[in-house]
Chain A
């Protein structure tokens, strides 16, 4: 295969690079510790990965339009808190989750307002809402934690094993959404609209796209996904406390960049983000198996973040 063919492949499918990365790191960790390939390990990686995966999923649409949302952890935590409190007060699951997701949607509107109306770059604006939401969580919970394990039949079902290799139903649901989303972006008019908005806002406006409307919808979709991810974490752990979502900010940035999203917008892929989640999960699980403590894991993630950002930057430079 000559280099032109390889370049063509990489151009058409930028996710190839990350896919190779995922496979390589999995192999490395497998050699180090064979239990990586156990079904139970894989199921655990899939289950935990799905939670943050939903957050990354929502955000990847937003990144294609050129914005970023750092309030992932806080909104997730807020949704978990609201649903936890409502479940605890006796409301059923449907009402609790709907309320929680509505609150998440409100945050999304706030993000969109700060970015599009006030004009704060989304990086800082959403960081701000993240802080505000964290504060709200602490104020609402007042330091207690809520046990919800007995009241969540729907979530329990989501996390129960499905016939597919005993992966939980929620993972199947997630995988279908990924495939659907990726095809949507690649082939539909919606995908073109999103990419146009991200590529060059002015041209998109001239072409008749209401970019503010598009971005607002994306912010809403993103926040709702964040909220759903938070509810999932609550379902998985059976409790609600203020620590849900605390660490997410940096992980979600790392996943987004590793997954090929560019902060310059217009580029981003659902599949890439999914692979980013896979990579992070493989690395985290592999490091835990190798007894590397959580804080030291940061070294690897930091290095990968820099590596991915470097690759992204060089790619842009070579295009020019």
Chain B
């Protein structure tokens, strides 16, 4: 398992959920959850493929349009959760359903390819034989860590998550905080989807991209210290958590375990993390 090829492959699988988790960690500290992340990945990949193939957009234009769409989805999530008042879990499951359904209906389930060479550009960069996305993710993680610990924005997020009313009273616009967090999460999901596409051979716009990945992200973030109740967590912690989850996954594959056991194993880890979170929360409240 310590083979350099394996390590590079593991790092690659860590990169995508970790990238999205950088948005998710901010969102969860602010007290909300987003389960539509993987669906947004799929949707953005498929939409960009369709724009390029069927509507003859140039690669950069398609990318910009698609990323704008991801921001829009983030806005919808924020609106449903904060303005209408639906629990973020339900709302984002709903948007996730709709978005992934759209993704499948765009393609009839079949991946769209081939894509022009330039799309694979970022995907084929391999400094030190490790994927470009991994370094991008490290940079974003570093950036978000500083954001959370040393800026006013970070304080605003922690405040919103710990006690929304107190935050409002101190002058923080909690809706704006959550809106930006939702948009950031969706934006990073969109980026992850596009980057996944650019790294796969043939760069297919495949609606199956990211299937069940939202659980990996959620589990990773919670294992990394973010609380379901908001107000706690860190970027570095989330990175470690996501890495841990992916290492367990890879371990299961390498150990030739039944692939269908991955989901239950993941779920079990998630439950243990949640149980720990709940017990810790009860201790603090009591």
Contacts and interface: CB of A to CB of B under 8 A. Distances in A.
Interface of A: 114, 118-121, 123-125, 127-128, 130-132, 134-136, 138-139, 143, 242, 250, 253, 257, 263, 292-293, 295-303, 305-306, 309-310, 312-314, 316-317
A117 B268 CA distance: 18
Given A135-B261, A138-B258, A293-B108, A302 B278 contact: no
A135 B265 contact: yes
B90 interface: yes
A303 to B, nearest CB: 6
A295 B105 CA distance: 7
B104 interface: yes
Interface in B255-286: 258, 260-261, 263-268, 270-271, 274-275, 278-279, 282
A267 B53 CA distance: 50
B84 A120 contact: no
B98 interface: yes
Interface in B221-278: 228, 258, 260-261, 263-268, 270-271, 274-275, 278
A305 B85 contact: no
B98 to A, nearest CB: 4
A131 B97 contact: no
Contacts, number: 130
Contacts of A119: 278-279, 282
Given A118-B275, A138-B258, A296-B105, A306 B263 contact: no
A309 B271 contact: no
A299 B101 CA distance: 5
B187 to A, nearest CB: 21
18 contacts: A124-B274, A127-B271, A128-B268, A131-B263, A131-B264, A131-B266, A131-B268, A135-B263, A138-B261, A242-B260, A257-B90, A293-B105, A295-B207, A296-B104, A297-B101, A298-B100, A302-B96, A309-B90
Contacts of A120: 271, 274-275, 278
A305 B270 contact: no
4 shortest interchain CB distances as A-B pairs: A131-B267, A302-B97, A135-B264, A128-B271
Given A132-B264, A250-B93, A302-B94, 17 more contacts: A118-B278, A119-B282, A124-B228, A127-B270, A128-B267, A131-B266, A131-B267, A134-B267, A135-B261, A139-B261, A143-B258, A253-B90, A298-B101, A299-B101, A305-B97, A309-B87, A313-B85
Interface of B: 80, 84-87, 89-91, 93-102, 104-105, 108-109, 207, 228, 258, 260-261, 263-268, 270-271, 274-275, 278-279, 282
A127 B87 CA distance: 17
A114 B271 CA distance: 10
A242 B261 CA distance: 12
Q: Is the interface of A mostly helix, strand, loop or mixed?
A: helix
Contact of A123 (B80, B89, B97, B265): B89
Given A134-B263, A313-B84, A298 B97 contact: yes
B84 A314 contact: yes
B104 A306 contact: no
A253 B94 CA distance: 10
Contacts of B282: 119
Contact of A305 (B84, B94, B261, B278): B94
A301 B85 contact: no
A139 B264 CA distance: 11
B56 to A, nearest CB: 25
Contacts of A123: 89
A78 to B, nearest CB: 12
Contacts of B261: 135, 138-139
A118 B271 contact: no
Contacts of B268: 128, 131-132, 135
B271 A125 contact: yes
B87 A305 contact: no
